[in-house]
Structure 1
């Protein structure tokens, strides 16, 4: 085991994805680079005011779990496990041989096992308490997504779940980095998962006006930074990274896919759902992440923006980026393709940022046809842009005014 090193020496050695853009990293990246949206009419939402979503359509539980296993896991835990398996394999690690006491798990989520809770609540009302599953409280609680990863992978180190709304993924990765720096772990499986496309979740978000009403043209509904945006499209997804101290990764000759250089977090302390009108909290998080990374404002080449396709967020975020980073970075929002995966959004976008740095490619912002005139940043649209990328930022902002920003560097 290496002695704890500086916080800036954290390596990403493995990545895993399950999202509406595909099953596995290669398929995801191809779809995101194509700019082809995934939103579609969702039969399970029939009769609701908004019946469109971004499902992980390529995922089939029976392809990944033994008979009789999947039904014991909420969908959110299933997605997390599949993404984590890919990430660990990509890192070249074998849970059968590692020292599990030195392996931690930190995952973010917003909703946890909401599908299980809704289904069991319906049983309570319609059939009575005798029909409730005895597994409900080992399926639905938010901690269980990390617990099931630990059980499968034999990860006996710190086991945590972060719940900072749509900033949950970066919060998890930032926390994992701190565990490595403190010497509490040698490997941390980090990221986020959410499976929030359920009737109650969708009805509530529709009632508060957060969802796009473009139900007659679902593919065009998620349109970050576009003049015609009218709300987000909810998605399900999981994104996982394997983090190690850079010295340890190099000692075992691992492929270093990227480095986590900095992390910043803040609270708006302003409103339960609306961002601060001047983006003060988001700006504090961004500046803190840059300071933590030791990166100057003019050194950022690319930003994977939160870009939620909501009227308030996109303008506020763009103004923050212009104030702090100027016009230089090539900005994208991959939510035009994937929709908004809530607590998993920042995690899958971290993986997309790793891939952008690796390939020197900035994905296009899908459905961006007419840039809002108030947005004065370089937003990539229409097609992927080839560019030399050394340093990138991934932004995530959530309900409650919770903000998380990561600064990543090439491996």
Structure 2
């Protein structure tokens, strides 16, 4: 083994089942938590709040405080909640909401001694509830960096009945984000020298991510639109949250993010893309990654799947218009702000990345005109 890897498997405990929030009462009572801070979003909170309050009122807590999330996982928001938790002497922080809330609550709990965290995702849009890291943004939503934590999430509760109520767009974005796990990690993990046990597990879980999405992804979306709690839907959300988180958990920097996520991070500097979800931008990044890898033979199949899922495959679909100047600007911003792209087993330059962005646009133009590639 030539790599020095740090394996971070996932939360201390994970449970997924309809109605699993009922287990929260026992968890709190067994550990004797007394001062609880709940960090929550807005829309989904109205659905979870009644159930959660009933559960919490059945425990013997001494103080219960609620704090509305301010919109970005930023240094400022982490500091605000850290100060609040410290001043209230909270011993448990519960996060209810989407990925950025999950990342923020993880960060706050990891920085405070003796504070535990429970995450209750209301969306299956990425693996944020699973991973022991936070993606940091400016208050305006521009990517800054990834920060790793020395502690894992204490308890992750995934209730499919909650997640199926979310707009289907979040599910499709999660499928795009998860599909990227294979295409971003395969160039490294397929190399003969990367044969450690941890990397073999990362390779297997990355392959499972792709297999589940190809096999069950479209059906999961159909079922979600019909509010049908099917096996396909549950398998899809567990793959988005858990399996994809295991890829980076076992593979560390060799299997966490490369070109597709780096492209996402570059796109955050374009205000025109701020309305797009994380996984939607990552899905586009997969197409650029394939062009960068020179895997032209795979572009058609992946493009077809992403189109079927309603995910963007070109700059035009992202709402960005422009020629070579735009390609070079995106390439430059990507390389400037996300060094993860350099984990790929070949050099990536501004020229080569701009060329890959352009080649993907040409591929999509020719595909749209029926000429093929």
Q: Same fold (TM over 0.5)?
A: no
Which protein, 1 or 2, shows the higher relative CO under an 8 Å CA cutoff with sep ≥ 6? 1
In the superposition, the TM-score normalised over structure 1's length comes to 0.27
In the superposition, the TM-score normalised over structure 2's length comes to 0.29
